[in-house]
Structure 1
């Protein structure tokens, strides 16, 4: 990055890529307790509450539907649209995706994007906020790395400077307004299943059960799915394409991760809206993007060419190469 000059013509200090202060660390600890620890407590409470209100069809529908829409908000909105700009969406669709992603409780959209762009810049090297491969060798180093990358890194870390990592987002006034209301969106994601649970059962216990299963358990399930990509898929799995970091694929978890488990594919082609790359690799996130394109709500899908895909394929890996359309 080029150095800036001040009004006197002297070279100014380069813009800092990260910010670290006691105030930011307090905010990180608060977020860690509210959205990483509390869902664990809430999940335990949901199982304990089964003695009061049994798990039924309503709880399953709330858990599944809220997991699906917020998960798509993260993978399609936060990740593929806002972080990597793999496609374009009409403004109201972008706004809905940002709100749904916010309901997941994984951070405001601007902060999330800045963190993930820094991850790609320094992936599995010093500066990566959540690599599992920087904690030493041996079994102890592996376990320590997995614990750090899966969960513990969120307690305290250097905060990526959003002016450096997300200048495009902070120029988008509508998106910034959504980001500023992050805590309200998380609360809305808890309020909706609580109200539905109460209305369906016409009881306070149904409302509490809806809050627990459609709210806190849903956050717990989704966040551990996302974190497993940061941790386990940077250590274990298969590699189909050349990429400079230690990313891996795991087709077994393609559906539950909404396509995110094609992680090596993603790091090899971060500009691609398709993480599966080939039609037979399940990628629900890309299915939604294609549906939006058919409806005229998404455009400019940056699918890598067959030539480029073939050029990055690791020697000895077989299988068809396609446009993943």
Structure 2
């Protein structure tokens, strides 16, 4: 069976830098709440860090209050829409193409300048420093939906109450836990890269830049405080909030709702959720991703929109990425559910 959009390139193969999965440390039957694991690395999270995390999570509510105040009797302008789309696309692809498919799973090899640019763009999404983000996601793949997964929605079991509680945990609750993912174990390749260490250290400054640029663009284009503030609201605060919750929805909804056309490992419940495909730049074709994590294209079937794969294709044609791991039918077809 042919796969639409397939191109020649390097076949999908395991990423050598990703941690090898071992057997579960403690028994788990796939339905009960995750048993306590004393070997999990836990630290006491400083209160200031919890406060900062809470502030970031509260962005949607702050932005809605500001929107009601700013837009009372006024309409959003075309400049605000254009800037919001621009910054959403740049920072969103920084996460999906840069953080995820490139740096986490090595679906392609980027030129050095592009690697740095993608890491900077992804950092401006307010989703964490690049090395920590990659380490957490690799751990998620090593222990998907079983003990050790940092944000599985099945952490509290498969009863209705457990799944509702788990949905909240998988979406935002895991951000407030003391369960720390050690980068030395899950992202040693990034720790060994001086460029990525520098970008990771610059994360707070890049968050400030992520809001300062829309404000400056609004001021430059419109020339008034109102133009600067509406640009900050729509292309800054609301853009950050929307992208965060779309990404977190892949962690939560894309393990509970949707179709599973491909077989995954035991307990792995990753699904395809088409309504999120465009907003997530193709990340919500999550079932295929968990079946073949290093594949550069997640939407492999007809009609599955995958803007991240299109961006990788464009970069490949420019010569800025190489060794792209495009889908190979001979590998994917045996994984299809009958």
TM class by shorter chain equals: 0.7 to 0.9
| Structure-1 residue corresponding to 2:107 | 86
**Aligned residues between the structures:** 301
How much does 1:18 deviate? Answer: 5.5
Instruction: Show structure 1 runs of 4+ deviating over 3 A.
Output: 16-19, 24-28
Which stretch shows the higher mean deviation, 298-307 or 173-182?
298-307
2:216 matches 1:216: no
TM-score (norm 1): 0.88
How much does 1:47 deviate? Answer: 2.9
| Structure-2 residue corresponding to 1:319 | none
Return the alpha-carbon distance in structure 2 between the equivalents of residues 201 and 18 of structure 1.
52
2:192 matches 1:171: yes
Which stretch shows the higher mean deviation, 254-263 or 134-143?
134-143
How much does 1:303 deviate? Answer: 2.3
CA contact (8 A) 1:18 1:161 kept: no
TM-score (norm 2): 0.85
Aligned 1:213-292 pairs, distance under 5 A? 213-244=234-265, 245-278=268-301, 280-292=303-315
Pick aligned residue for 1:307 from 330, 335, 338: 330
| Structure-1 residue corresponding to 2:8 | none
Residue 160 of structure 1 aligns to a residue whose secondary structure is coil
Return the alpha-carbon distance in structure 2 between the equivalents of residues 187 and 18 of structure 1.
33
- For residues 263-301 of structure 1, the C-alpha deviation after alignment (integer angstroms, 9 at most, x for no partner) is 000000001011112464210001000000000001101
Q: Report 1 or 2 for greater relative contact order, CA contacts < 8 Å, sequence distance ≥ 6.
A: 2
Return the alpha-carbon distance in structure 2 between the equivalents of residues 34 and 18 of structure 1.
27
How much does 1:105 deviate? Answer: 0.1
Q: Which runs of 5+ in 1 are unaligned?
A: 3-15, 316-325
| Structure-1 residue corresponding to 2:67 | 46
Go from structure 1 to structure 2 and tell me whether the alpha carbon gap of 1:115 and 1:226 turns closer, same or farther (over 3 Å shift): same
How much does 1:101 deviate? Answer: 0.2
CA contact (8 A) 1:150 1:231 kept: yes
2:85 matches 1:64: yes
Q: Which runs of 5+ in 2 are unaligned?
A: 1-18, 21-37
Go from structure 1 to structure 2 and tell me whether the alpha carbon gap of 1:28 and 1:262 turns closer, same or farther (over 3 Å shift): farther
- For residues 178-219 of structure 1, the C-alpha deviation after alignment (integer angstroms, 9 at most, x for no partner) is 110001111111001001111222111211111111111001
